[in-house]
Amino acid sequence: MVRLDKFLCDCNMGTRSQIKDYIRQGLVSVNGIIVKKPELKIHESNDNVTLRGESCTFKKYAYYMLYKPAGVVSATTDNTADTVISLLADVKDKNLFPVGRLDKDTTGLLLITNDGDLSHHMLSPKKHVDKTYLVGIRNPLTLEDKTRLEQGVDIGDEKLTLPAVVSFPNQVTEECAQILLTIHEGRFHQVKRMLQAVDNEVVTLKRVSFGPLTLDVSLAPGQYRELNEQEVEACMKC
């Protein structure tokens, strides 16, 4: 059992002081009965709690898919630039953080959550979770360089990169050639360094998938949505 005011606070219905005011004003009901005691003990799972008629449900963890735009940093706080968390300003869930990071100029799919276990699972080097990028490159990729990327290249680390998957999308752009590149690890500036290793250069970089998640085509840069139960389960199993 838990105190009523703590339960409502955990449901992100307001600060502890705000919630105590709501309760004393008679805005909170438990099982259809108005209560005015913040210290009242309730069963989180069994009791039906409402605030202003709105049912309050406690969710321990939250999961969001964000279409990261260029110009924001993958951090919770930053002194010089907007962060990906600031894009979720209307979200009440607490202690959110990005799972991994995308460079400031990189766009695309970013998972935001407050579930540390899921984050560790998705980022574990032992899992080799796939990440696919739409990469705009300075020069068209030759078949020889495609083979090199798929076999693993030297980017200045102790080991070659793991074998990647390279394909050529049907999209056409006047600005640069494009490839789809799937990697299975997350080294520092890895995609940019891989293209440098085959004497090419990344012009634009957009992550289109991360593990079982694919960037929702209905999202515009800066927009986000909650993951559904099936997506969360798929992330936990990948």
- Residue 23: phi and psi, rounded to 5, are -65, -45
Phi-psi region of 45 (alpha: psi -120 to 50; beta: other; left: phi over 0): alpha
Q: Which residue is associated with the tokens 């004497």?
A: 199
Return the ∠ at Cα 228 (arms to 186 and 30), rounded to 5°: 125
Coil, strand or helix at 6? helix
CA 55, 60, 64, 68 dihedral sign is positive
Cα separation, 208 vs 188, in Å, equals: 18
- Single out the residue of 58, 107, 59, 57 nearest to residue 87, CA to CA: 107
Which residues contact residue 132 at a Cβ distance below 8 angstroms, ignoring those fewer than 6 apart?
A: 180, 181, 182, 207, 208, 209, 210
Which residues contact residue 39 at a Cβ distance below 8 angstroms, ignoring those fewer than 6 apart?
A: 3, 4, 5
Could you say which of 10, 103, 130, 216 is catalytic?
A: 103
Is 5 marked active-site?
no
> Which residues are annotated as catalytic?
103
